[in-house]
Amino acid sequence: MIFLILLVFGQWLTLGVISSGDYPFFFRESLGERFSLPLAWNNGYNVPFSTQWPHEFLTGLLSKIGMDFAVVERLAWFWPFLVISILSSRYLAKTLFPENEFVLSFAPFIYLLNTYVLTIIVGGQVGIILSYAFAPLVIATLIKYIDNEKNYYAILSGLAFAIQIVFDPRISFITAGIISLYSLTVFKYNLKKYVKLFLVPLVVTIGLHFYWILPTLLVRKSPLPIGYGSTNWVDFLSFASFSNTISLLHPNWPESIFGKTYFMRPEFLIIPIIAFSSLFFIFSAEKNGSLGKNSRNNILFFAFIALIGSFLAKGSKPPFGEIYLWLFNNLPGMNMFRDPTKFYVLISLSYSILIPFSVQQTYSWLKSKIKKSLPASRQETSKSPPFASLQRGKQSKIQRYSPNIFLLLITGYLLLLIKPAWTGQLSGTFKVKEVPKEYIELKDFIHNQPQFFRTFWTPQHQRFGFYESNHPTINASDYLKTNDPAELVQELRKEGRKEELQRLGVKYLIIPFDSDGEMFLTDRKYDHQKRLKTEEELTSIEWLEKKNLLEKIAIFELKNPKDHFWFEGNPSQVNYKMVDPTRYLVTGETTRPNNLLVFSETYDPRWALKINSKEITSEKSYESLNSFIIPAVGKWNGEVEFTPQKYVNYGLIVSGITLLLSMTALIVFSRK
C-alpha cells in the first residue's frame, strides 16, 4: 500500500508547485493576507459567508512564518488528505468489523484509489477531497456513539463534522444523510434516541461555525451564488450514466477534462459484482451463524447505500432522472448538488466496506474448501492408478494456493483499473510545475507599487497572476459577460468603456501568458493565434499604452485611474487607510455640502460611512459603485465599514467559546 501511494502520489513528496484545474496558486504575499479574522467582504466581492476561514487562517499563518506556497499546500492540503483518508477509512472499517484485519487493511485501498477520488484530485477540487477524507471518521465516531453512548464520541463526532464542513459542506450533507439513515435502522421510531444522538454533535458543529451562520441568518443572504439552484445546471452536469455510477467509474476518468466522457468500460462492471457478492455471505451466514447480526446488518446497510449513491450520482439521466430533479427542487439542501457526481462518495464509502468484506469472505471460503478436500484425497491414494497420486498432488497444490491466487487476481485487477494513476499518466494536481518567471516579475512589478489599483485580465485571470487586497483583479470575461477574446475586445471599444474602467481603478489591462493552455482554446487545444490576435486588437485601442516590460505577458496601461476613494466632480481631498477589506479609515476635506464620495467597490447597501457617530448609507452610483453623500463642509474623519462584519465578529466569539469548551470536554471525557 505504501509503495502504491508513493507511485501514485510521488510528486506530492517533492517540492515543486502544484496548481491545476480548480486549485489555485498563491504568491506568499497574497497567501499571507489570509492570516486574518473571517471577513464578510473580500477582494471586491460580497462573498457568501465562507465555511473555509479556519483553513484559510492556517495557510495564512504558515505563509506569514515564511513558508513558500509549495510547502504550505503540502502541509495544509495534500499530505493531510493522504493521511486522513487512510486512517479515517481504516477507522470506519475497524468500527464495523473490529476483528477483521483484512477488511481494515483493504478498505483504504478502495477508498483512496478509486477513479472517482483520483479524477477529483486531477481536477484540483481540494476542498472536496479533504471533506471526502473526513467522511468515514464522522460516520465511525457517530456509530461508536450509538453503540456505547460515551460522550467522548459525541464531541469527537461534532468536531470531525465541523472540520468536514470547513472543506465542503456538500459532502458533509451527504455524510449527515448516511448517519441519519443508519440511525433509522437502529433507533427506528424512538425519537428520544435521535435527539440524544444528534444533540451534542449538532451543538458543537453549529457553535464552531457560528461565525458564518449568524451573519447568514441575520443578513438573509443565500449561501449559494445566484442561479446556482437551477435545474438546467443539473441537466448540464449529469455526465455519468447508471453503468458508470454503479461501477464506481467517474465519467471523466482518467483525463478529467470537463465535458469529455467515454464509452462505458466493461471491465469496471466487475467492481459491483465483487461488492454485491458480499450479500451471498450474509444470506448464508444467517443459516450457519458464522457472522454476527451487526456485521450482517452493516453489509446490508452499505449495499443499500451503494445503490442509493449509484442512483443519485447519475443525476437527471435515466432511469427515473425526474426523481433527482424533483429532489433538487423540493428537498432542503439538495439544491447544493447541481453536480450530482458528489454522490459518488456514497458509492466509494460503501464499496470500501463491501469489496474488502467480499474478498475476505471468498478467500476464507476457498481456504475452507481446501481443508475439506485434502483429507479425503489422501484416503483414496492407496486404491488409485500409478500417476493419480502425482495428479492429485498437483491438484492439491493448485487448491492449496487458490486462495492466494484469488487474492492476487483481485489485487491485480483493481490495480489495472487505475493503471493511469501508477504509470504517471494522470495530470492536473498529480504533476508539479514551475511558476513561469514572467509571473514572478509581474508580481514584483505590481506589488512594489504602493497605491491602490486594479488589474483587468483579458480574457481572465491566469492562475499565476498576482493579486492582493491593494491590487485586486477583474476577469474581463465575468465583467463583460463573454468568454470569446474577439468579443471582449469589441466590448472594450465601446463608448464610455475607458471612463468606466478608470472609475473602477483599473490601471493595467493584462493579456496573460497562457502557460497551462487553459484560455485561448480552439477545440480544447491552446491556440496561440487567438492570443496574438487579442494582443493585436488591444494594441490598436488608442487609450491603452502598451508597456514593453515582459515578453510573454502583454501589459497595457490605462492613464489616470481613480483611487479606491474619490470625490466626484471637484478636486476635494480624501485620504484613506485600509484596516482590512471590510473597514477603512477615511479623512477628507470638502469645500461644499453634499459632495459625493465614491468608493469603488461593487455596490452593496450595507456599506456605511460613519462621521461623528452619524451613519451615511451607501447609494449606488455609476451603475455599480458605492457612494456616500457627505453633508459636512471642511475637514472630517470617518470610518467606512461593511456592516455585516459585526455579526461575523459576534459569531466568532461564540465559535471560540465552543472550541474551548469542546476541547476541554474531549480531554476530560477521554480520561474517563
Nine cell digits for residue 309: 449513491
Span near other proteins by CB under 8 A; candidates 43-51, 107-115, 260-268, 653-661: 260-268
Q: How far is the CB of 266 from other proteins (least distance, A)?
A: 4
Residue 406: CB minimum distance to other proteins, A: 17
Distance CA 318, CA 501 (A): 48
272 counts as binding other proteins under rule CB under 8 A: yes
| CB neighbour list of residue 401: distance below 8 Å, 6 or more residues apart | none
**336 neighbors 343 (Cβ within 8 angstroms):** no
Q: Detail the DSSP E strand segments found in 278-399.
A: none
Q: Which stretch binds other proteins (CB under 8 A): 239-247, 478-486, 516-524, 575-583?
A: 239-247
Give the one residue of 11, 105, 243, 261 binding other proteins; rule: CB under 8 A: 243
Give the three-class secondary structure for 355.
helix
Window of 49-57, 128-136, 304-312, 582-590 that interacts with other proteins by CB under 8 A: 304-312
Q: Is 295 in the site for other proteins (CB under 8 A)?
A: no
- Least distance in angstroms from the C-beta of 327 to other proteins: 18
Helix axes 210-219, 191-208, angle to 10 degrees: 90
Determine how β-strand 506-511 pairs with β-strand 454-457: parallel
Task: Show the binding pattern over residues 68-107: x = contacts other proteins (CB under 8 A), - = does not.
Answer: ----------------------------------------
Quick check: 303 binds other proteins (CB under 8 A)? Answer: yes
- For residues 177 and 157, give the distance between their C-alpha atoms in angstroms, rounded to a whole number: 15
Q: Nearer Cβ to other proteins, position 146 or 285?
A: 285
619-621/614-617 β-pairing: unpaired
Which is closer to other proteins, CB of 268 or CB of 406?
A: 268
Distance separating the N- and C-terminal Cα atoms of the chain: 35
- Using a 10 angstrom Cβ sphere, with 0-12 exposed, 13-18 middle and 19 or more buried, the burial of residue 377 is middle
Backbone angles phi, psi at 518, to 5 degrees: -110, -10
269 touching other proteins, by CB under 8 A: yes
Q: Which CB, 122 or 305, lies closer to other proteins? A: 305
Length in residues, the chain: 672
- Smallest gap from Cβ 267 to other proteins, in A, equals 8
Residue 47 or 279: the one with the smaller Cβ distance to other proteins is 279
In 250-265, which positions are buried (b, 16+ CB within 10 angstroms) versus exposed (e)?
A: bbbbbebeeeeeeeee
Q: Shortest gap between Cβ of 312 and other proteins (angstroms)?
A: 13
In the bound state with other proteins, the residue whose beta carbon lies nearer, of 62 and 248, is 248
Residue of 624, 411, 588, 390 whose CA lies nearest to 503 = 624
Nearest approach, Cβ of residue 264 and other proteins (Å): 5
Contact with other proteins (CB under 8 A) among 41, 91, 276, 647: 276
The CB-of-239 to other proteins minimum distance in angstroms stands at: 14
Q: Does 427 bind other proteins (CB under 8 A)?
A: no
Interface segment toward other proteins; rule CB under 8 A; list 248-256, 273-281, 543-551, 596-604: 273-281
Could you give the residue ranges of the DSSP H alpha helices within 114-263?
A: 115-122, 126-148, 151-167, 169-187, 191-208, 210-219, 231-237, 242-246
Identify the DSSP state of 36.
S
Q: Where do we find the cell 465541523?
A: 162
Residue 413: closest CA among 286, 267, 288, 541? 267
Q: Rounded to whole angstroms, how far apart are CA atoms 581 and 44?
A: 8
Give the Cα separation of 566 and 192 in Å (integer): 61
Point out which span in 56-64, 97-105, 300-308, 452-460 binds other proteins (CB under 8 A). Answer: 300-308
When binding is defined by CB under 8 A, the residue of 206, 307, 327, 585 that contacts other proteins is 307
Q: How far apart are CA 159 and CA 153, in angstroms?
A: 10
Binding residues with other proteins: total (CB under 8 A): 27
**Taking CB under 8 A as the rule, does residue 289 contact other proteins?**
no
Nearer to other proteins, 197 or 347 (CB): 347
CA-closest candidate to residue 427, choices 237, 253, 239: 253
Calculate the CA 235 to chain-centre distance.
21
Smallest separation (angstroms) from other proteins to the CB of 290? 16
Q: Site residues for other proteins, window 165-194 (CB under 8 A)? A: none
Least Cβ distance, residue 277 to other proteins (angstroms): 7
Among 47, 202, 264, 633, contact with other proteins (rule: CB under 8 A) = 264
Judged by CB under 8 A, the residue of 40, 121, 159, 282 near other proteins is 282
Q: Which residues contact 38 (CB under 8 A, 6 or more apart)?
A: 49, 50, 53, 211, 212, 648, 652
Q: Which of 96, 213, 246, 489 binds other proteins (CB under 8 A)?
A: 246
Nearest CA to 239 out of 210, 264, 265, 260 is that of 260
**Long-range CB contacts (within 8 A, 24+) of 330-338:** 333/173, 335/224, 335/228, 335/229, 336/169, 336/170, 336/173, 336/224, 337/170, 337/234, 338/228, 338/229, 338/230, 338/233, 338/234, 338/237
Interaction of residue 242 with other proteins, rule CB under 8 A: yes
CB of 272 to other proteins, least distance (A): 6
Can you tell me which residue has the cell 458605492?
A: 626
In the block, cell 454485491 appears at 276
Give min distance, CB of 348 to other proteins, in A: 17
**9 or 357: CB nearest other proteins:** 357
Per rule CB under 8 A, is residue 196 in the interface with other proteins? Answer: no
In whole angstroms, the minimum distance from the beta carbon of 245 to other proteins comes to: 9
Is 266 a binding residue for other proteins by CB under 8 A? The answer is: yes
Instruction: Kindly tell me which of 296 and 431 has the beta carbon lying closer to other proteins.
Output: 296
Q: In angstroms, what is the minimal distance from the CB of 300 to other proteins?
A: 6
CB of 273 to other proteins, least distance (A): 5
Q: Check residue 261 for interaction with other proteins (CB under 8 A).
A: no
Please state, in angstroms and rounded to a whole number, the distance separating the CA atoms of residues 126 and 429: 9
In angstroms, give the least distance from the CB of 244 to other proteins. 9
Residue type present at position 93: A
Q: Cα separation of 598 and 456, whole Å?
A: 20
The distance of closest approach from Cβ of residue 256 to other proteins in the complex, given in angstroms and rounded to an integer, is: 22
Range in contact with other proteins (rule: CB under 8 A) among 114-122, 279-287, 557-565, 633-641: 279-287
Going by the DSSP 8-state scheme, the letter that residue 240 receives in this structure is -
311 binds other proteins (CB under 8 A): yes
Q: Which of 45, 258, 280, 326 binds other proteins (CB under 8 A)?
A: 280
Task: Select the span of 22-30, 120-128, 305-313, 393-401 touching other proteins (CB under 8 A).
Answer: 305-313
552 binds other proteins (CB under 8 A): no
310 is a site residue for other proteins (CB under 8 A)? yes
317-336 positions binding other proteins, by CB under 8 A: 319
**List of residues contacting other proteins (CB under 8 A):** 241-243, 246, 263-267, 269-270, 272-273, 276-277, 279-280, 282-283, 286, 300, 303-304, 307, 310-311, 319
